[in-house]
Structure 1
Amino acid sequence: MNYNRRIEAIIFDLDGTLVSSSLNFQTIKQDIGCPADSDILNFVDKLSPAQHHMANETIMQHEMADATHAKALHGARSLLRFLQRQNIPTAIVTRNSRQAAEIKIEQCQFNISQLITREDALPKPNPQSLLSLSKHWDIAPQHIAYVGDYLYDVQAANNAGMQSVLLTFGSDKPYQNLADFCFDNLLHLHASLALSHTQQAHCQ
């Protein structure tokens, strides 16, 4: 597969992209009184200070319980090692809490130092976190790919002017036409990146 533009850096979502997750968002919404069709983080932001604190505590309980059972998805470590060998910068941008995200990263032994959580920047699909990495790396957004498994990931990449890569894991998603590229899993993404790298090397 030919990428739209040369990829010089890759940013990943975390849950459902690099690691397994058993978070049940419908249950979390019920526990904090969030309507089923509302975004959890947007809902919490509009609560009173006391309600905001209680809702965040509930969400954290769910996230921490999930973090203790998280496992690296098949192909995640080999893909990250490949990118490291190619000197391609990597980072994680997640709507998860920093505490839970750091546990998952350490538990799965991912060698990624750049992590942006909902506590660090406006959450996806806002592009703020992605654009901050673009500035930090001094790499134009169009030469960065953002990899995720959900609508917010595709929207965040598109909003930032980056290349959006959607992992479908064999299931058609109603928004996959919004993504620049779709792959069944991380192994297929790895193979495509390796082929693209080889082709670029032959052209030099």
Structure 2
Amino acid sequence: MEVVALNIHQIKAIVFDLDNTLVSSNLDFNWLRAQIGCPKEIDLLTFIEQLNCSQSAAAANQIVLKHELDDANHSTPMQGCHDLLGFIEKHSLHTAIITRNCFEASLRKAEHNNLNISRIISREHFPPKPAPDSLLSLADEWGLDSHQILYVGDYVYDLQAASNANMPSCLVTHGKANTFSHQASVTVTELDELLSLLLDHQVSRPPLD
């Protein structure tokens, strides 16, 4: 996969993953896999989508939905979240959330944590990450080139989605070791570190005529 270089002076939009990027998440994917019968080597959403029995698929989706809603009710903002969103608002940058969660749980998380982001794209709207469709749609909607959008996330799917959309990416590690940091355009420990980087360069979007 190709890592797209970040030129921070060109950034006009910052798009976020949701879970463990903007807000905390304690989704137990091992428990979900056991409940649904999904093998460890298969992506959970892909497994459900490929179930031949519609009743089994509906039951699996209901289990995932309940787990996601419970997680939303117990979520908290990640370190630096609100300060970074305040910077984005102050400097008139475009922003959005792209998540593999369902829309109902994503909206609940955004409201529960007072996230000032109205544009939320979930797995109901576009193929889930690492597919680039949602990112490409935002670029078209905002009239921006791919290199003007920075995608921020905490997992390899986020980095792959950005690369597939020919966009730079920021990996938030929370101080944990991983095997995919080299796939990110820039790596930070927490969101406040990204905010410091933006402040150093005073990224902003010029007002519309």
> Is the TM-score greater than 0.5?
yes
Equivalent residue, structure 2, for 1:26: 30
TM-score (norm 2): 0.92
How many residues are matched? 197
> What does 1:187-202 correspond to in 2, within 5 Å?
187-197=192-202
> What does 1:1-204 correspond to in 2, within 5 Å?
3-4=6-7, 6-47=10-51, 48-197=53-202
Aligned with 2:47: secondary structure?
A: helix
Cα distance in 1 for residues equivalent to 2:90 and 2:58: 43
Tell me the alpha carbon deviations over residues 58-110 of structure 1, each in whole angstroms, 9 at most, x when there is no partner. Answer: 10111011011011112101100101100101100000011101011001111
Q: Which amino acid aligns with 1:4?
A: N
Q: Which amino acid aligns with 2:184?
A: A
Q: Which amino acid aligns with 1:39?
A: D
Identity fraction in percent: 41
Tell me the alpha carbon deviations over residues 8-35 of structure 1, each in whole angstroms, 9 at most, x when there is no partner. Answer: 1010000000000010111111110000
Shift of residue 172, structure 1, vs aligned partner: 2.1
Q: Give the ranges of 4+ consecutive aligned residues of structure 1 lying more than 2 Å apart after TM superposition.
A: 2-5
Equivalent residue, structure 1, for 2:207: none
Relative contact order, CA 8 A, sep 6+: which one is greater? 2
Tell me the alpha carbon deviations over residues 86-141 of structure 1, each in whole angstroms, 9 at most, x when there is no partner. Answer: 01011000000111010110011111111100011100000000110011000111
Shift of residue 4, structure 1, vs aligned partner: 2.8
Could you tell me which runs of 5 or more consecutive residues in structure 2 were left unpaired when the two chains were aligned.
204-209
